[in-house]
Amino acid sequence: MAYIPPHKRHSKDSEKPRPTPESLVPSFKRNVQLRAPKSNAERSGQIVYSNYAISRWFAVGLDDDNGDASAAELKSVSVESVERKIGEKPVILVRSNLDKENSEVKGSPWSSIAEKVMPDLLSSFEIMRTETESEDLMDVKPTIVARFGKILFHGSPSVNLESVRKDCVAETTLRNLRRSFYTSVPASYVASIMAEVVPNIGVDFSEVKDIYHLKLSDSRRPDSTVSCKCSIKDDKVLQLYKVELNQVRDMVVDISCPDMDLDLRLMLCHKRILTSLTDDEMQSIRNLIESAVLDPDVKGGLRWPLGKASTGNRYSVIGVWHTMATSYESSSLRIKVRHADRFDFRTGYGETSKEVVLKLKGMVSRLLEQEVETNAISDMLKDALKLIWLHFLHCEPYLT
């Protein structure tokens, strides 16, 4: 049966109002967190969730109803960047030593993951499209991405991490913990993806990009960050080629995979490219870019002379990223392997990481069609998850 998004449906009642985001929120809310309005900014505005974003976590092979809570355990790991921010070691979910001989996942885990994710994906995509249709002066681009790394669990004022570690691990317990997704992976994993996975999954080399991302606060958009993408000209001068607002997350599903070496994050998000900046706005942004000094010895690779990191009362530099990314592409997938060097001016904190990102561009194209076949989308999601499970979740141990 063809699935027709609400904004494309025709009714005999021409005065029937368009669906509101509230009406599109799914009824299947088990284990789903819907973020409330006005609480959508995190990390100094650099990570933003839409007002009706879905945030969800579950573990493959760990189910309160059917699973064995003794099959997995929480392991404390050392992650310097996280410990510096939070003040304690995080924990990760791993297969229990007592259960490692039975650690092989039975059946097709990608199918069960797809069944859990599909309703959230369809609902989030509808809401995102309905909300962004009304935005003027912007080119909105949705993206579905898969990230690979480790889900880190953290304690909270109401939940003591040490007491949780001593108890049997259950999904209901883990949902009460704060979590983050650590995307940095070992160099050996990146090398394996490029040398062994890429040649075998039907993608071809696309491009290498050396990009500086300037993150600017905008006094007229306090809930957003302006991101300026710059390339390097032959004379070692920054050249601006795109201005966009920071990525907005519409759905984040974190999936712990204790039987595998890496965990998985599936995310639907959209970017808003600014297409109608005034001459004064563009000049202010260019002044900041022209004032930047390339310096490989500082985090992020850029610094500004004293007093030059802001323009009047409008824009201020709050962060900078330097990324070197190699991309591989097919008609339905895009793999980005990148080295990122980031610095946050507000916190004075910087870090470097190696990351692998998989973009499911074919699925986005199908979801943007006037009539969406849900069965076709479901099959595409299962195929993508099977590919991920077989090729992207194997890695040598790197968090101890």
Predicted pLDDT at 173: 77
Q: Where are the beta strands (DSSP E) in the chain?
A: 2-3, 32-34, 41-42, 47-59, 72-76, 91-95, 138-154, 178-182, 204-218, 225-232, 238-256, 263-274, 293-294, 302-303, 310-311, 315-329, 334-344, 349-359, 372-373
Give pLDDT tens digits for 127-152.
998 888 766 546 889 999 999 999 99
Predicted pLDDT at 46: 63
CA distance 292 to 320: 11
* CA atoms 304, 308, 313, 315: torsion sign: negative
CA distance 373 to 51: 27
List the one residue out of 370, 372, 391 whose CA is nearest residue 380.
372
CA distance 382 to 374: 12
Predicted pLDDT at 137: 47
Predicted pLDDT at 22: 42
Predicted pLDDT at 205: 97
| Spatial CB neighbours of 359, under 8 Å, sequence gap ≥ 6 | 143, 144, 145, 146, 333, 334, 335, 336
Predicted pLDDT at 224: 86
Q: Phi and psi for 257 in degrees, rounded to 5?
A: -125, 75
Record the tokens describing residue 251, joined without a space: 């759905």
Predicted pLDDT at 97: 63
Half-sphere exposure of 187 (CA within 13 A, CB side): 1
**347-367 burial: b if 16+ Cβ within 10 Å, else e:** eeebeebbbbbbbbbbbbeeb
pTM over 0.75: yes
363 in Cβ contact with 388 (< 8 Å): no
Predicted pLDDT at 164: 66
Taking 50 as the pLDDT cut, the residues of the chain under it are 1-32, 34-45, 64, 137
CA distance 102 to 72: 11
Q: What is the DSSP letter of 18?
A: P
CA distance 7 to 27: 19
Q: What is the DSSP letter of 373?
A: E
